[in-house]
């Protein structure tokens, strides 16, 4: 059981470039989440997917798009990267959105936008 995996681990982008962060879970969880973590700001929810085929905005969705490709995979896309999107990105999953309190996190993707 790998749990929640994320690729890439680290990425450097130039302003205006695009990229997709990949996330997969093998725990048969229904709900998946994308967070960003910045110093002193804690973890902030970008988007979440309560179940396959649905996505909803979180606290800081501007500049991002998501795709719930199937039950296992949830990707985060930056269409035109900005320096303000320099952060550590975490994907998480939980069995059920209603009982989603038990969220399991991936190892993170460190993104630097120059």
Partner 1 sequence: QKEVEQDPGPLSVPEGAIVSLNCTYSNSAFQYFMWYRQYSRKGPELLMYTYSSGNKEDGRFTAQVDKSSKYISLFIRDSQPSDSATYLCAMSAGAAGNKLTFGGGTRVLVKP
Residues in touch with partner 1 (CB under 8 A): 4, 33, 40-45, 48, 58-59, 90, 92, 97-108
Residue 71 CB, nearest approach to partner 1 (Å):
18
Contact 106/3 with Cβ under 8 angstroms? yes
Q: Which is nearer to partner 1, 26 or 59 (CB)?
A: 59
Residue 43 CB, nearest approach to partner 1 (Å):
4
Helix (H, G, I), strand (E, B) or coil at 35: strand
Report which of 5, 19, 7, 8 is spatially closest to residue 113, judged by C-alpha positions: 19
Q: Which is nearer to partner 1, 16 or 107 (CB)?
A: 107
Residue 44 CA from chain centroid, whole number: 10
| Alpha carbon distance, N-terminus to C-terminus of the chain | 36
Residue 94 CB, nearest approach to partner 1 (Å):
8
Q: Which is nearer to partner 1, 83 or 107 (CB)?
A: 107
């Amino acid at each position: 059981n790998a749990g929640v995996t994320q690729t890439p681990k680290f990425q450097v982008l130039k302003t205006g470039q695009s990229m997709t962060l990949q996330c997969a879970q093998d725990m048969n969880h229904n709900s998946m989440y994308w967070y960003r973590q910045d110093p002193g700001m804690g973890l902030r929810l970008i988007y979440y997917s309560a179940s396959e085929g649905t996505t909803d905005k979180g606290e800081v969705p501007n500049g991002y798009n998501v795709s719930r490709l199937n039950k296992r995979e949830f990707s985060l896309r930056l269409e035109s990267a900005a320096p303000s999107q320099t952060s550590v990105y975490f994907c998480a999953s939980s069995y059920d959105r209603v009982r989603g309190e038990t969220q399991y996190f991936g190892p993170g993707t460190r993104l630097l936008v120059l």
